[in-house]
Amino acid sequence: MEVWQTTDDLLRMNRFREQGPLVLVPTMGALHEGHLSLVRCGAEIGPVVVSIFVNPTQFGPNEDYGSYPRTMAKDLDLLKALPVAGVFAPDVGEIYGEGLETSVRPGHRAQGLCGGDRPDHFAGVLTVVAKLFGLVRPDVAIFGRKDAQQCLVISQMVEDLKMPIKLVDAPTLREKDGLALSSRNRYLSDSQRQQALCLFQALTEGRLLLEQGCRKRSVVLAAMEAWLQKADSIDYADVRQVPDLGRSEDIFGKTLLAVAARVGPARLIDNLVLQVDDKQVSDSYLLGTERKS
Ligand code: AMP
């Protein structure tokens, strides 16, 4: 597995293009099994490049950019055990140089949810993803369904800017008890770890109501919010349509149940993507067609 730190180093990546569609898995490092599942999903498609870059422009002024876990040596060890062609791990200067005058402005999908009280978050995400796409020039990019709004905002960018890249959203990997794997789970004490389960419980409760036939957004939302009270504070609970992220009191079709809350020092997010029909509720996906994985 090669490690590339500069854009010049990336010239060495080109030989992998002959081996099949080049797949990019963008991460901020502090890797866990969720990230590794994205890599495994990518390896079924073609040679995989993993990027590791903690992107300063997507963190708000009071967020954890400075203390975000950076575990490069361990990350590289984990990736070495997988079919990874190379890792692109640039420093901030390599990506942002002397500064930035141009950025990518997200569309309406960035409103509310994780964009609600973080006005520059998705512009930061889109700008760095556009830079990574320009540098690596992947044929395919894989993102986690766990960051559902991020997937949909990126997909809008790819469509609007006619970027020749196929996007795949990979399923959320969870602990046995349902807690979604996250780099920020390491901030949690044992009791906060238990408390954090309320995010998945809120989603499970929302799903249960839908399975019992309820189709009213306000009812599902109230039940989700009741479970989220166990968190230290609630960022949001929401029920949105996929892919446009619109709201409708009557729930029908592809639907996102999404929650974000603070537990101790961590801001955690989770969601379920469901296909809600007249009589049936089933797991669904955000982009394109479902991959078996
Ligand atoms: P991050 O390093 O947190 O920016 O995440 C990098 C990628 O991994 C993103 O596309 C995330 O959506 C994805 N990801 C994070 N957690 C999980 C998880 N538990 N299961 C699957 N993918 C995940």
Residues 83 and 147 in one domain: yes
Atom of ligand 1 nearest to the CA of 30: 2
Which residue has 């006619």 as its token pair?
A: 162
In a domain, 291, yes or no: no
Q: Residue 93 C-alpha to ligand 1 middle, in angstroms? A: 24
Contact in structure between 25 and 35 (CB atoms under 8 Å) = yes
Which residues does 18 contact at the CB level (< 8 Å), separation at least 6?
A: none
The model carries a pTM of 0.96
Residue 10 token pair: 């990336």
Distance 76 CA to ligand 1 centre (A): 16
d(CA 142, CA 151): 9
Give the span between the Cα atoms of 237 and 222, in whole angstroms.
9
pLDDT at 99: 81
70 and 195 belong to one structural domain: no
Q: What's the CATH code of the domain at 40?
A: 3.40.50.620
**For 29-72, what is each residue's pLDDT tens digit?**
999 999 999 999 999 999 999 999 999 999 999 899 999 999 99
111 in any annotated domain:
yes
Task: Looking at the structure, tell me whether residues 211 and 263 fall in a common domain.
Answer: yes
**Same domain, yes or no: 193 and 277:** yes
Strand pairing partners for 180?
A: 174
Position 38 in a domain: yes
Tally of domains in the chain: 2
Lookup: tokens for 107: 């569309």
Give 176's contacts (C-beta < 8 A, 6+ positions apart): none
Confidence of residue 100 (pLDDT cuts 50, 70, 90): confident
Verify that 28 and 153 share a domain, yes or no: yes
Cα Rg of the chain (Å, integer): 19
- pLDDT above 50 (res 293): no
Q: Annotated active-site positions, please? A: 35
Q: Which two tokens stand for residue 97?
A: 């140089």
- What is the Å distance from ligand 1's center to 152 Cα? 14
- Of 170, 203, 234, the position where a domain reaches its end is 170
Mark whether 14 and 137 lie in a shared domain.
Answer: yes
Ligand 1 is surrounded, with C-beta below 6 A, by: 27-28, 34-35, 37-38, 143-144, 146-147, 170, 172-173, 180-183
Q: Given the CA of residue 37, which atom of ligand 1 is nearest to it?
A: 21
